[in-house]
Amino acid sequence: MSELSNQYPTGALQALDASHHLHPFTDHGSLRQEGSRVIVKGEGVWLTDSDGNRIMDGMAGLWNVQIGHGRAEIADAVATQMRQLSYYNTFFKTTHPPVIELSEMIARLAPEPYNQVFYVSSGSEANDTVLRLVRYYWDLKGKPDKKTIITRWNAYHGSTVAGTSLGGMKAMHAQGDLPIPGIHHIDQPYWFGEGGDLSPDDFGLWAARKLEEAIDRIGEERIAAFMAEPIQGAGGVIIPPDTYWPEVKRILADQDILLVADEVISGFGRLGEWFGSTVYGIEPDLIAVAKGMTSGYLPMGGVLVHDGIAQTLEHEGGEFFHGTTYAGHPACAAAAIANLTIMQDEGVVGHVRDVAAPKMAAVFAGLADHPLVGEARTKGLLGALELVPGKPDRTRFANEGDVGTICRDICFQNGLVMRAVRDSMILSPPLVITPDELDWMGTTVRKVLDETGAELKRRGLW
């Protein structure tokens, strides 16, 4: 146990944190004024803060704690591995048992024909690897002009230089003069926000055909890959209309362009199958994973490589000059094996598909009649509530984001972590959440929406 535990008063912890800790994705001016929320314990879907408050983790950490917090089996597996071999690398033709076992396990869980995994330590690094790998692949194929990667506006692919560039977050691009050259962004399939007068199905076709237009404009001979999340997560749980992915498949069917699925959120069970690509019938060439692979107990990510590409690397490749010190780290691999073992033994993916996802859909359907809710959508254990001033015309509040922030803060006060993306309220709970816990979540969200409405009226915003 560290010297600094929750025996210290919250104020003292906050003061030390403010003195020495620069946080990710944080406005430090306001953080220093308000103080950080100090989380000291996690158990199942529940967190405890330094004042002893119990809070439901409606975001599963950052979309990653599939099996819930505090499972001793993972701690034990990691401790055992650390005593045996705490670190060795996987460079230069070396390996170790945990990474061997994990690779076989992932190949078994992944759909055919993904039988090879390239390891990294995060989703961002997975996508950096994708960028390097697809460009290298086309060089090997004798097509060095195929370098452009098409992605979507408002996609999230990480925070490194490649991740930010591949992603479509304009505020992130503005810091650091990004994107790097060779990334082309197209419209996203966000019907509620951008669908105009089109029906969802027609809008799904419209958005997919933006890919076709881009290919026509840039030229297939210059395009390496199209990369996308099956469902955009950080962008606001953008569930594409049913027509979208089939049309993307049709467009790519007769093109020599790689398809990359960023499954950092949708991988490992969140949509009720081991991989989101299965849910949408997508057959990508590369699949980026991270998060749920270890349920966040230790950092690990990877790229699942289609047999066709793996064979090109093996037979035509020579050395791929890419890799990081902690690729396939033994303790992280042990955590991943323990996590995936729990998921298999306890039928966690089936629980999502048959129990938790239908229940969450029902809970959201029950919230759709609230006067602040313009749309309540779910897929698997991802959900979004669009907050609007009135129905049914999809008009937004002025100063987008203010209402979401107010709602999020009220949510915390009611003991539930719910994330705000602009004025969409997002939930992505641990996959092991029970129907009773989902009922509690629904009741709490309704109360939060009522309190948010009252607060908006008090402030003259509604």
Which positions lie near ligand PXG, rule CB under 6 A? Answer: 62, 122-124, 127, 156-158, 163, 229, 233-234, 262, 264-265, 290
Rounded Cα distance between 79 and 273, Å, is: 30
Question: What is the closest distance, in whole angstroms, from the C-beta atom of residue 63 to ligand PXG in the complex?
Answer: 6
Closer to ligand PXG by CB, 63 or 137: give it: 63
What is the full DSSP assignment across 41-76?
EEEBTEEEETT--EEE-TTHHHHT-TT-B--HHHHH
Question: What is the closest distance, in whole angstroms, from the C-beta atom of residue 187 to ligand PXG in the complex?
Answer: 18
DSSP structure class, residue 38: P
Question: What is the closest distance, in whole angstroms, from the C-beta atom of residue 264 to ligand PXG in the complex?
Answer: 3
Question: What is the closest distance, in whole angstroms, from the C-beta atom of residue 395 to ligand PXG in the complex?
Answer: 25
Question: What is the closest distance, in whole angstroms, from the C-beta atom of residue 123 to ligand PXG in the complex?
Answer: 2
**Residue of minimal Cβ distance to ligand PXG:** 123
Closer to ligand PXG by CB, 130 or 223: give it: 130
386-402 burial, b for 16+ CB within 10 Å, e for fewer? bbbbeeeebebbeeeeb
Residue type, 324: T
Closer to ligand PXG by CB, 122 or 378: give it: 122
Closer to ligand PXG by CB, 156 or 280: give it: 156
Q: Are 166 and 184 in contact (CB under 8 A)?
A: no
Give me the residue label for tokens 């997919």: 208
Closer to ligand PXG by CB, 62 or 355: give it: 62
Q: What is the largest CA-CA distance in the chain?
A: 68
Q: Which residues pair with 232 in a beta bridge?
A: 238
Rounded Cα distance between 5 and 39, Å, is: 10
Closer to ligand PXG by CB, 210 or 419: give it: 419
Question: What is the closest distance, in whole angstroms, from the C-beta atom of residue 287 to ligand PXG in the complex?
Answer: 11
Tokens of 137: 């692949």
